[in-house]
Amino acid sequence: MTARHFIASLALTSCLGALPAAAQEPSNSGLALGVRGAFGIPAGDAGTDLSLKDTFGSTVAPQVDVSYFFNRRLSLGAYFQYGIGSGPGDECSDGADCKAKVLRFGIDLDYHFRPDGFVSPWVGVGVGYEIGSLEVGEGAGNSWFKLEGYDLGHAHFGVDLQLTRSIAVGPYISASVGQYNKATIRLGNAAELSDDLSSDEKQIHVWIQPGVRVQFRL
């Protein structure tokens, strides 16, 4: 079973398991806006003969997401995350100006266990797309490198504190599995070169992200 099939099966199982409880819930459907702050811890290979940590480094990653609640327990939403990377330490230690970032966007399916309690645990699964880039130098003479590919699947677990019926805040942790499949590079004033990674170059990487989320029911 491939990673994509495994994640799809996990999402379907979570959704089907939630249906009996969801059917007994009062409607309470509607939109919600989430704002998150996370710290990204990389692991695995970026597919460039370097580890993910040595390519983009760890990240400070704010995120926004918009979800639709089918009832008080089950929601489906879209997210966008802008991760500011620490960059490769060795490349930037000699005074070079390095800027790394990791963009992630996709969809999530979440289930809340005790939506009417003050303490409300929740779990979720999702898939998405990831774009990581590294810029070294300043002005027209800088060098630029980008990797992009699929977030094959991620899972997250959190605990909300229901401050009001419409506002919740709490910690969470997320783990995602991804694989880059395309690279783009520009050296100085030269033209950009893009190419798909070969099968041997494609490697699995992981992001672990602990953080805090505030969610507003609209």
| pLDDT tens for each residue of 122-148 | 999 999 999 999 888 766 667 888 999
The mean pLDDT value for 141-163 works out to 92
pLDDT digits (tens, 9 = 90+) for 104-118: 999 999 999 998 899
Smallest CA-to-CA distance from 180 within 84, 11, 49 is with 49
Give residue-wise pLDDT tens across range 199-216.
Answer: 888 999 999 999 999 999
Give the pLDDT band of residue 162 (cuts 50, 70, 90).
very high
Mean pLDDT score of the chain, rounded to an integer? 85
pLDDT of residue 141: 66
What per-residue confidence (pLDDT) applies to 58?
93
Whether the per-residue pLDDT at 100 is higher than 70: the answer is yes
> Domain range holding 44?
3-217
Q: Which amino acid is at 172?
A: Y
- For residue 190 the two structure tokens come to 């030269």
Domain count, the chain: 1
CATH code at 156? 2.40.160.20
pLDDT over 60 (residue 194)? yes
What pLDDT score does 210 carry?
98
Given a cut of 90, whether residue 160 has pLDDT beyond it is yes
What is the Cα–Cα distance from 181 to 201, expressed in whole angstroms?
Answer: 8
CB 84 within 8 A of CB 110: no
pTM: 0.81
Bridge pairing between strands 193-196 and 204-217: unpaired
Residue of higher predicted confidence among 160 and 86? 160
**In the chain, where do the E strands start and end?**
30-44, 59-69, 74-85, 98-112, 119-136, 143-162, 167-186, 193-196, 204-217
